[in-house]
Amino acid sequence: MYLLALAGAFLLPGPDMALVLAAGAARGVATALVTALGIAGARAVHVALSGAGLAALMVTHPQALQWVKWAGAAYLLYLALRLLQSALSKKTLQEAAAPATAHGARASLVRGFLTNLLNPKALLFCSMFLPQFVVGSEQVGMQYLRLGAVLVLVGLLFDALYAVLAARLARRLRGKPSPYGKFVLPTVFVLLAGRLVLG
């Protein structure tokens, strides 16, 4: 039952799915997979924070929740601006499509991590979803740890699937790189920022 509930949650469109799909379509499967690893790391932090009761604290103090929302939106807009500057630079399409360097992989990892970490809805999801599957009052901590670990792993599997599918679909849809492909990620980040603030 828990795995089915998780599958249903990760099949619903959301910021993480949009980010991984956009990264896979615009930058390739390797970049999208590294982004997915960053998202998984942030999910692990959310599980730990929700277990520590921080999510409940944020619910009782809505102002703190708003600050996290605005911080997340500002970070996404910053990423969009940086990517847009890169897209408008004098780099050739071949350079833009070159394999990611170690710095590029690290940037994708951090991007995925911070995008999820600064989304307060992800923290609230863990705090409301996981306790429903804790059975009894004994070894609650261990149960929560196991449930959280499964959540992170299942989420990573779904994100990896989205990364591969997006990259393959992008290769089929374009015979040669499109100059507009570099604008996919900045657009996604702007839309995610708006969704975070308004949602």
pLDDT, tens digit (0-9, with 9 covering 90-100), for 113-140:
998 998 888 888 888 888 888 887 667 7
96-125 mean pLDDT: 77
Residues 6+ apart with CB under 8 A from 161: none
Residue 13 has pLDDT above 70, yes or no: yes
**In degrees, to the nearest 5, what angle opens at C-alpha 12 toward C-alphas 8 and 13?**
160
Residue 68 has pLDDT above 80, yes or no: no
Residues of the chain with pLDDT > 70: what percent?
72
- What burial class does residue 39 get, using C-beta atoms within 10 Å of its C-beta: 0-12 exposed, 13-18 middle, 19+ buried? buried
pLDDT recorded at residue 95 = 43
pLDDT recorded at residue 26 = 82
Least confident of 23-27, 103-107, 174-178, 194-198: 174-178
Residue 102 has pLDDT above 70, yes or no: no
pLDDT recorded at residue 50 = 85
pTM of the model: 0.74
pLDDT, tens digit (0-9, with 9 covering 90-100), for 143-152:
888 999 999 9
Least confident of 30-34, 62-66, 89-93, 118-122: 89-93
Residue 94 has pLDDT above 60, yes or no: no
Across the chain, mean pLDDT equals 79
Is the Cβ–Cβ distance between 159 and 16 less than 8 Å? yes
C-beta atoms surrounding 145 within 10 Å: 14
Structure-token pair, residue 69: 């929302």
Please, which pLDDT band fits residue 87 given cuts at 50, 70 and 90?
A: low
